[in-house]
Amino acid sequence: MGEDSVKIPGHQNRIFCVKPVPDDYNLVVSGSWDRSLRIYDIRVGKPIAMIGGTMVSGNDAIDIHGD
């Protein structure tokens, strides 16, 4: 996903887990060793939100339930 003039940069380290949001398959959540989750919108092609302070280091480390 591109990062041209985006205010939320992409991951800065290895990505270990990527999951689609069950209610909206245009959104994808990824987790990385850079201690963040990024929410990407594939229609826009860049991250739209970030949750900091998380450490993801496994394939099944992200679970999405409701909002």
What is the chain's mean pLDDT, rounded?
84
Q: Of the ranges 2-6, 13-17, 41-45, which one carries the lowest mean pLDDT score? A: 2-6
Model confidence at 1, in pLDDT bands (50, 70, 90)? low
What residues does 20 pair with on adjacent strands? 28
What pLDDT, in 10s, does the model give residues 7-33? 677 788 888 899 999 999 899 999 988
Residue in the block written with tokens 């959104």: 27
**pLDDT at residue number 61:** 79
The predicted model scores a pTM of: 0.78
Report the distance separating Cα 22 and Cα 6, nearest Å.
25
